[in-house]
Structure 1
Amino acid sequence: MLGKLIRIGRTERGMTAQDLADRAGISRTTLYNIEKGTPGPEIGTVFEVAVLVGVRLFDDDDRRLAMHKAHLDEKLTLLPQSVRSSRQEVDDDF
């Protein structure tokens, strides 16, 4: 969810991925991994990027978080396909 918030915050501010990566002092690949939600990037880097795009980091209301997540999912479905992360089916039929 944090990666989605960061990506939306970046696009709402009109920043390119390269702009944000440069400002945070990270590579574009690291930013891509943060926005994708992969567990590799350091948490401090993720928090720094979140602050740069205006994402609130702490909110303790579970119901509000669930509603916010649903809103973000809806918002991301409106983005062009090339912006959304692809969902690959895993072929585990051996």
Structure 2
Amino acid sequence: MSSNEHSPLVSSALELFGNLIKVRRLERGITQKDLARSLNISAQTVRCIETGQGNVKVGTVFEVANHLGINLFELDEVSVHEMNEELRDQLTVLPKKLRQPSKSVCVDF
């Protein structure tokens, strides 16, 4: 699989995220260019997100979604922080060897 090809599941998720973002942007009357400008990203990046094409960092997708008030996992900011606190607590009791990933993980889709 080349870097621009995704599994069917990932392709479907990218399409879903892109559609959610596009609908919310259009509902708010925001152009791709204006959305890009407000987030300091390129209009091309917004197009890639909305079409589910290209390699856009997952963090960028979350930033765009958050900016438009979309909770991709139906979690609000408080829930995310609470879950992170719980996970941090769990990580402190794990042996150090288990806390370090054996391979680097790419955050891009």
Q: TM-score, normalised by structure 1?
A: 0.60
| Correspondence list, 1:25-64, <5 A | 25-59=40-74
Distance 1:38 1:8 in 2: 17
Matched AA of 2:56? P
Aligned positions, number: 60
**RMSD of the TM alignment (CA)?**
1.5
Q: Residue 39 of structure 1: CA displacement?
A: 4.5
Distance 1:46 1:39 in 2: 12
Does 1:17 find its partner at 2:46?
no
Distance 2:28 2:37 in 1: 15
Q: Residue 59 of structure 1: CA displacement?
A: 3.8
Give per-residue Cα distances to partners, 1:8-36, cap 9 Å, x unaligned: 01000110111100011110001100000
Partner of 2:30: helix, strand, or coil?
coil
Matched AA of 2:21? I
Distance 2:36 2:18 in 1: 14
Gap runs ≥5 in structure 2: 1-15, 76-109
Bigger Rg over Cα: 2
